[in-house]
Structure 1
Amino acid sequence: MFPKRISLICCVAFLFVTWNAILVLLLLGRSPQGEVQRGGSEKPTGDLVDDVIRIADAFELELKKQKDILNQILKHRPVWGLADRKGPKAVAPSRPVIPILVIACNRVTVRRCVDKLLQHRPSPELHPIIVSQDCGHAETAEAIRSYGDKVTHLRQPDLSDVPVRPEHKKFQGYYKISRHYRWALNQVFKNLSYSSVVVVEDDLEVAPDFFEYFRALQPLLKSDASLWCVSAWNDNGRDGYVDPGRADLLYRTDFFPGLGWMLLRELWEELEPKWPASFWDDWMRQPEQRRGRSCIRPEISRTLTFGRQGVSLGQFYDKYLRYIKLNTEFVPFTKLDLSYLKEAAYRENFEKEVYGAPVVTYEAVKRGQLTGTGPFRLQYSTKDSFKMLARNLGIMDDLKSGVPRTGYRGVVSFFSRGLRVYLAPPPGWSQYDPTWS
């Protein structure tokens, strides 16, 4: 798309030069009234002079129209990466467009989600909001339509039940969600031709620096093949379990968090041909899809879920999700050095910190008897010991394909009574055990 816009500007510029040249030639060709032209030819008739003047006036009017068109084109220059050039060799930085895809169904409370997106959005051009609605729910559709041209409203056309095995009838909602995701992401990447997208669901509220977070991390996602997503969510991000003074702290994680996440077109081209009929998020967490790649996630979440009711029937909501801490401090991520998140450096520094920390007992952590400033390491060695420790310490204890929530190389980081604790496997960890699920 960018070369086409450049060609358009070149064409307009060429027309400017051409029309000005024609005007000059026409005006120079007009002889003053009463003179005889060289070579003895008679002076031009009054009709000819009038014709030339009319042509010149027409060109002048058309020139003004084209100038207005060019000004309109230039108004959109920031969107596709051109900036004012101070010299012939100046190169303008690109400003990628990152749309927000809101997955909606039958919640009129989608307003809360969209209102926060509009409130915190720094630019409508750089962050168009696309609301894709399934279910055909009239009140929800009206709520989305009420935003007018502030959002793009897409409607998933296939509202039929998905054929499933009899024992899966109770999971019909999960099948429809997976179908909707596939359709909506195809719209974004194939029909609208965006190169990346941030996916949120209609029951998420976003933080003030939500857009800043994803803009800063898109270049890293594009350049680091060991990453496959950026998420705004910390599964263990409840108040008291995160460092309130480190809103800028980011992690790599082997667990796919979802709940406000960015992916690239290239990843969708990889996943779409084998997209599952249901339970798409757990499918994403399987080794065949993850392929050893990680996501970026924050210390303090940039999304908060307010949707207790849904197809999951509030699973985990009352115990964990309703207490997730939403960041309120704006962090200028685009101005920070995020190179520490690159794979080689991150792994080395992370393992050095985790396995350089003193080993402590569960009782010491639980009773608040840790001495020192931390961090501390609490070790597990089996699936059962992990689940027992996690459950009793108040962090999420479930595993997907052997990967604990927020885990990186088997390590789960959390805060306990104001101190950093790493729940970690023994030194020498090499891989996850998919049977730990």
Structure 2
Amino acid sequence: MRSRLEIKIRALLERYFPERRLFLRSDNDTRFIRLKPSTQLVAFMGLTFIVSWTIISTAILLMDSIGSGNFREQARRDQQTYELRLNAMSLERDARTEEALAAQDRFNTALQQISVMQSQLLNSETRRRELETGIGVIQATLRRTMKERETALRETTPPDQEVSGKQATRLTNPPLANDMLNILSIALAETAQQRDKVIASAEVALQAAEEMRLDLALMEEKNDQIFRQLEDAMTVSVEPLTKMFSAAGLDAKSMMEEVRRGYRGQGGPMMPISFSTKGGEITKEAIRANRLLDQMDQLNMYRIAAETAPFANPLKSAFRYTSGFGTRWGRMHKGTDFAAKYGTPIYATADGIVVHSDWLSGYGRLIKIKHEFGIETRFAHLAKIRVKKGQRVSRGERIGDMGNSGRSTGTHLHYEVRVNGRAVNPMTFIKAGRDVF
């Protein structure tokens, strides 16, 4: 049974891979190489495997290149959209703050006017009371004087002249009393009119003050909504940056202090606004505004720190990782290797100063960039160097071209990150910055 199976397999192989002979002829002799069906089958399977592996690897590399390009473009668009939204919210906050301050000024002015009117009303009321008291005293004095006069006349006038004396009294006394009463009535009427005018003006002022109070309450509600939106936006913005620095193994607090020491100049139109509470009580709005401004200042310092730390990728075009950080062939590989075509642009991963741009032993053409916080980046095996020693570069600026110089087995970039002279894994920084940039 076994021999029959072998016979069938051999017949099938001879059918598709018949035995062939490869002749090698020279001047004196002719030789041939005999290719058995089994040998042809092995060669065919090996060739098929190599072709399949090449096609699959090319497809994976192409898909990875397209996917990474789309991801970076989407991240860039999201960042631009977020910056535009944050700027719009900042402008709206400033406008609402100005409106609130204007409404507060109008409200204070109305209160001052009401205070003045209330003072005038009190003065007029006091004056009216004084006039009423004076009129009462004058009337009592007149009545007492007239009684005393009538008593004196009755005592000095005979009975037969009493009637004529009463008539004379009626003829002489009433005109003077009537004049006094008329003057007092006119004064009281004028005082009452002034009082009514002051009361009417006070009511109008109180009504206007109530309207202003309602407008101010509505404005405060709008400002509270804007403050909440800005506070949420600040929280969403600061937390990813804090996580990014923590993921990279950097002390965010010390970095912020160093940035604050290096960027502490003040003045000019771009200086941050601050709400002063000098000479008055500290309001909730002022506290929230100052807290929000502090968060915006913190976000700005985070942005400055992120620009000076190597969170970016040194390549923007298609590439593949060929070797990572760690032990390789029994030796420590202190960086990450990126393979791409010859001449691929290389970009600075953070702001810094070029401290080396020349050939260096096994590194070949090497660029060293010194950054803040004791960080240094190295770009080795370059084909061309595009920066000079002492030159200041920015994140995303082209500094060289990928090559195969120095101790290298093929075209690639050897990228290193060193913190205080100690080599660290560059992918820690690159992965930490992917969710932010």
- How does the TM-score come out when normalised to structure 1? 0.26
- How does the TM-score come out when normalised to structure 2? 0.26
Name the structure where helix makes up a greater proportion of residues. Answer: 2
Give 1 or 2 for the bigger CA radius of gyration: 2
